[in-house]
Structure 1
Amino acid sequence: MIPARLPRQLNPLRTAARCSRTSQVSQRRGVLTPPALLNHQKKFEENGIGTLMSAQGFKTAWTDNMDLLTGRLNKLIKGNAHLDNKEAKDIVVLTARNPAEAAIFNFASAVFNNHFFFNTLLPEKPETPQMDDHLVESITRSFGSIDNLRKEMLATAFHMFGPGFVWLVWHRPTDGGPPGWKILATYLAGSPLSDAHWRRQSVNMTNENIDSASDVTKAGQEARAKQVPGGEQHTEVQNNVGAMGQHSFEGRKQATRAPGGADIIPSLCVNTWEHAWLPTHGIGGKARYLATWWDHIDWASISKDAPRHVTGSNSTSWS
């Protein structure tokens, strides 16, 4: 007589491990898709952007370009678990320190920059720009007038010898000086994000404005000048307590920054890549494109967001 075979009791740890492996296999990596424009994407697709960009120009600079950028980015991040289900901005910061991830950084930064540009545009030139009084006052303190800001941004963008973006950023000096608005030019896929400054990014010194943009890079230049012969940075903690100590809010934030990295927050940018202006304005139309861009800025959106960007709250304090 053959005895009946009793069912083998399953090891609960082995069962859990098997379920975990099955769950991991069944989970699919989140694929990054072109981010939606929060303003007027449907209007842009159908009619273009006023006199700034034709419908075909928008298709080239936004739809086709973003499909290309995100498609290549998805191929590059495949197999990098730490980048799964991350937005482009997060990927920029996460890859800024690793030289082996330079290509990922470049494509993610290009996605973020292009989205930022289109997200601050209006479909038509408004009769009266909707600028908050606090924003006008703040920009006037930094540039003397709104018109001075316009002239500086357009001149900087026009004279950029190569593609990139020109940004209006809120700059808080790390030496405790007063904060204010600055103009910053980033070339190719360079990023304005403070936490991305671990990656050395090219700066065209022939175009850098000594009255504005150079102040943003000053901290980095000073930090490099303090390097010891072996290339190691002086990173000893000088203060562990107080409002600016290692464990304070500011101290924890600075811990993610590169030595000498500027504390800046982008609020506005213009795209100077050729595919943004060539289809609509032609080979000699860059100046016309830039002047038209200024007329299509969504100042109401920028005015709404700027106090939060600068102060970390919804107040209208610009300190």
Structure 2
Amino acid sequence: MSVPSLFARGARRSFPVVSNGIAGVFSQKAFDTNWTKYQSHLINNLNRLTAGQADLENLSPLDLAVLTARQSDQAAIFNYASQAYNNHFFFEGLTTSQTQIHEALHWYISHSFASPEALKTEFLATANAMFGNGWVWLILDSKRYIRILCTYNAGTPFGSGHRRQDIDMNTKERLGTSVDELTAATQEATKGPMNHWAIPLLNIKVWEHAWVEDYGVTGKREYLENVWSAINWDVVNSRAPALRSQTTRPTV
């Protein structure tokens, strides 16, 4: 079963598809569920919802997500578009080969989190603590600091789309407002200039269907550890050209 293209607006970016799943992370069955079937479901529904709308049907999923993020009457389009982008971004960043954090990225991580090990600990703890479905992102903000950011359900980390993530676009109900230290830091990071640009470097899928098939209901932590071990750091580095040189340091 193949995944439909992102409309006629250009083929989806490719990533190595392993016929037997992604070793150490997804079995063939779980891979088929989380990528082939799920991505097809998202794209087919997005095609259906935008068919015949000249101003929408030729836009990419990311453009659709950002465009419709504040339009409550376009909640379905936003959810399918954003989720399709998020899911593709996640799988594109996985590999069955061993890769290393590039020198420049290592410097930025150490500046923001003390060390790559500290980043891993905080990132996975954040993902494990997330209650409900969502995505945990590593982003580069406008001051060139690397941050951890949570988006819930089909939430997007991009611009104005993220600034309205306290509202569930399907129910129009306000989500919980309890704020821990990490959430407060994330909210602070998303103020001001970052609203205009934030570069996602990697994300981890924190939807229950991502782990329950292979790891069981209580296997979330093991799943997260295995995903982290499969991150393609070459892809992560390529997503942020600004990190390719250490001459541009974070600003205070």
TM class, shorter-length? 0.7 to 0.9
Listed as ranges, the matches of 1:257-268 within 5 Å are 261=195, 263-268=197-202
1:210 aligns with 2:175: no
Cα shift readout 1:171-212 (whole Å, capped 9, x = no counterpart): 12xxxxx43011000000110011424644456554x5524x
- RMSD of aligned Cα (Å): 2.6
How far residue 315 of structure 1 moved from its aligned partner, in angstroms, is 4.7
How far residue 57 of structure 1 moved from its aligned partner, in angstroms, is 0.5
1:149 aligns with 2:149: no
1:52 aligns with 2:19: no
Which SS does the other structure have where 1:142 is aligned? helix
Is the 1:61–1:275 contact (alpha carbons within 8 Å) kept by the matching residues of 2? yes
Q: What code does the residue aligned with 1:78 have?
A: A
Q: Which residue of 1 aligns with 2:37?
A: 64
Q: Output the CA distance in 2 between the equivalents of 1:204 and 1:153.
A: 21
Aligned length: 237
Q: Which residue of 2 aligns with 1:284?
A: 218
Q: Output the CA distance in 2 between the equivalents of 1:163 and 1:34.
A: 29
Deviating runs (4+, > 6 A) in structure 1?
none
Q: Which residue of 2 aligns with 1:188?
A: 153
Is the 2:42–2:80 contact (alpha carbons within 8 Å) kept by the matching residues of 1? yes
Cα shift readout 1:36-67 (whole Å, capped 9, x = no counterpart): 452312x2xx1211111001100000010011
Indicate which of 79, 103, 119 corresponds to 1:133. 103
Q: Output the CA distance in 1 between the equivalents of 2:180 and 2:9.
A: 36
Q: Which residue of 2 aligns with 1:93?
A: 66
Which SS does the other structure have where 2:195 is aligned? coil
Q: What code does the residue aligned with 2:158 have?
A: L
Is the 2:141–2:189 contact (alpha carbons within 8 Å) kept by the matching residues of 1? no
TM-score after normalising by structure 2: 0.84
1:39 aligns with 2:10: no
How far residue 100 of structure 1 moved from its aligned partner, in angstroms, is 1.3
Is the 1:48–1:54 contact (alpha carbons within 8 Å) kept by the matching residues of 2? yes
Is the 1:34–1:70 contact (alpha carbons within 8 Å) kept by the matching residues of 2? no
Is the 1:95–1:105 contact (alpha carbons within 8 Å) kept by the matching residues of 2? yes
Cα shift readout 1:103-140 (whole Å, capped 9, x = no counterpart): 1011100000000000000125x2xx421111101100
How far residue 97 of structure 1 moved from its aligned partner, in angstroms, is 3.3
Q: Output the CA distance in 1 between the equivalents of 2:94 and 2:64.
A: 25
TM-score after normalising by structure 1: 0.67
Is the 2:93–2:202 contact (alpha carbons within 8 Å) kept by the matching residues of 1? yes
Is the 1:34–1:66 contact (alpha carbons within 8 Å) kept by the matching residues of 2? no
Cα shift readout 1:248-292 (whole Å, capped 9, x = no counterpart): xxxxxx7xxxxx836421110000111111111111111100011
Is the 2:155–2:162 contact (alpha carbons within 8 Å) kept by the matching residues of 1? no
Q: Which residue of 1 aligns with 2:234?
A: 300
Q: Output the CA distance in 2 between the equivalents of 1:315 and 1:147.
A: 22
Indicate the structure (1 or 2) with the bigger Cα radius of gyration.
1
Is the 1:32–1:87 contact (alpha carbons within 8 Å) kept by the matching residues of 2? no
Consecutive unaligned residues of structure 1, counting only runs of 5 or more, are 1-29, 173-177, 224-253, 255-259
Consecutive unaligned residues of structure 2, counting only runs of 5 or more, are 1-5, 168-174
Q: Which residue of 2 aligns with 1:113?
A: 86
Identity over aligned pairs, percent: 35
Q: Which residue of 1 aligns with 2:172?
A: none
